């Protein structure tokens, strides 16, 4: 790969990707297994780790822990739950902006993260996160409604969750049937993988984006049986989802990662399956930044979607954002 002869080259060692500069600087892990630490940023909201990839966010200051084998929580508030599946390398302060929209409506939020390394090595990474997620949802039914709000790579993660459900439908399908509403913001398909990951890891460095993109193209070809086939299967499962809750799609025509064409393909597939879908597509706004660019329209679309399914308990707080 000729691109590896640039100023900065990719080094691959023991399933991890890192950087080695032309000046022989020490190897620095780039896509490590450890997720970014999440610290409570919002006044009044409390965040605590359930696993390295799953955090519990609540307005209540309570200590919650999970049995690592079963994912059964030792306590579970009697509140509706939003499962928020984040984009790659999402910062806590940005996650909290979206979590607050649910916290204000009396929800608790379960925040799920997936690192680039976990995405690239699904059998040792993203599939384990998906397994923990569906077990957590199944083992902790408080009789309250579930909502799923996913960003970008969350479409892939939801596909992996559906793969897990297929392994034991009797146990897990009732869990997905409890989902009352789902929201997909900038959902990315396998075809956008080599665009989205480099942009997430190096948002302001085009040279490094191109370098990582070159490696990822190599990765997809070389590790077909341990990576690529899982992406394809997940994409198929997302298109033929096992979750039949009404869905809201939020995207833009100018986003190459959460592309309009791939989102429309999912939307049309779901409509054919009888799933009620709402489509909100802006002309221009960056990937997973539609809320920043169009805050009132974003909240209005989300408010309408949640309210139509009885999920808004404090309408005045939503209206105050319009």
* Pairing of β 28-29 and β 179-185: unpaired
Phi, psi angle pair for 17, to nearest 5°: -110, 140
The secondary structure element, H or E, covering residue 195 is helix 193-201
Q: Which tokens hold the place of 205?
A: 């460095």
Res 30: pLDDT = 35
Res 43: pLDDT = 59
- The third-level CATH classification (topology) of the domain covering 32-319 is Rossmann fold (3.40.50)
* Pairing of β 81-85 and β 108-112: parallel
The domain spans of the chain are 32-319
Q: Which tokens hold the place of 20?
A: 């080695």
Rounded to 5°, angle at Cα 103 from 101 and 108: 130
Q: Give the orientation angle of helix 229-239 with respect to helix 154-167, to 10 degrees.
A: 90
Res 209: pLDDT = 92
Q: What is the pTM of this model?
A: 0.85
Res 44: pLDDT = 76
pLDDT in tens, the chain (322 residues): 433 333 233 333 333 444 343 343 333 333 333 333 334 444 579 999 999 999 999 999 989 999 999 999 999 889 999 999 999 999 999 999 999 999 999 999 999 999 999 999 999 999 999 999 999 999 999 999 999 999 999 999 999 999 999 999 999 999 999 999 999 999 998 888 889 899 888 988 999 999 999 999 999 999 999 999 999 999 999 999 999 999 999 999 999 999 999 999 999 999 999 999 999 999 999 999 999 999 999 999 999 999 999 999 998 988 888 8
Residues 30 and 88 sit within 8 Å (Cβ to Cβ): no
């Amino acid at each position: 790969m000729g691109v590896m002869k640039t100023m900065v080259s990719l080094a691959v060692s023991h399933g991890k990707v890192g950087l080695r500069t032309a000046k022989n600087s020490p190897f620095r892990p780039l896509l490590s297994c450890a997720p970014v630490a999440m610290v409570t940023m919002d006044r009044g909201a409390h965040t605590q780790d359930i696993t390295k990839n799953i955090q519990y966010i609540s307005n209540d200051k309570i200590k919650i822990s999970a049995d690592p084998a079963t994912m059964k929580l030792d306590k579970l508030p009697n509140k509706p739950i939003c499962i928020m599946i984040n984009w790659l390398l999402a910062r806590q302060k940005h996650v909290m902006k979206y979590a607050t929209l649910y916290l204000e409506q009396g929800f608790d939020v379960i925040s799920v993260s997936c690192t680039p390394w976990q995405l690239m090595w699904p059998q040792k990474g993203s599939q384990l996160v998906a397994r923990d997620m569906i077990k957590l949802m199944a083992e902790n039914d408080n009789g309250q409604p579930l909502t799923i709000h996913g960003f970008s790579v969350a479409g892939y993660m939801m596909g992996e969750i559906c793969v897990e459900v297929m392994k034991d439908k009797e146990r897990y399908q009732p869990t997905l049937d409890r989902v009352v509403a789902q929201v997909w913001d900038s959902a990315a398909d396998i075809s956008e993988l080599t665009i989205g990951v480099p942009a997430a890891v190096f948002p302001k460095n085009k040279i490094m984006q191109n370098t990582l993109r070159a490696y990822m193209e190599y990765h997809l070809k070389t590790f077909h049986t341990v990576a690529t086939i899982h992406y394809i299967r997940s994409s198929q499962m997302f298109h033929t989802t096992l979750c039949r809750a009404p869905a809201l799609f939020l995207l833009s025509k100018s986003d190459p990662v959460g592309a309009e064409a791939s989102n429309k393909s999912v939307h049309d597939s779901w409509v054919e399956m009888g799933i009620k879908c709402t489509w909100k597509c802006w002309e221009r706004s960056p990937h997973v930044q539609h809320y920043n660019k169009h805050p009132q329209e974003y909240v209005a679309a989300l408010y309408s979607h949640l309210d139509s399914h009885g999920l808004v308990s404090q309408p005045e707080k939503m209206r105050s954002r319009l």
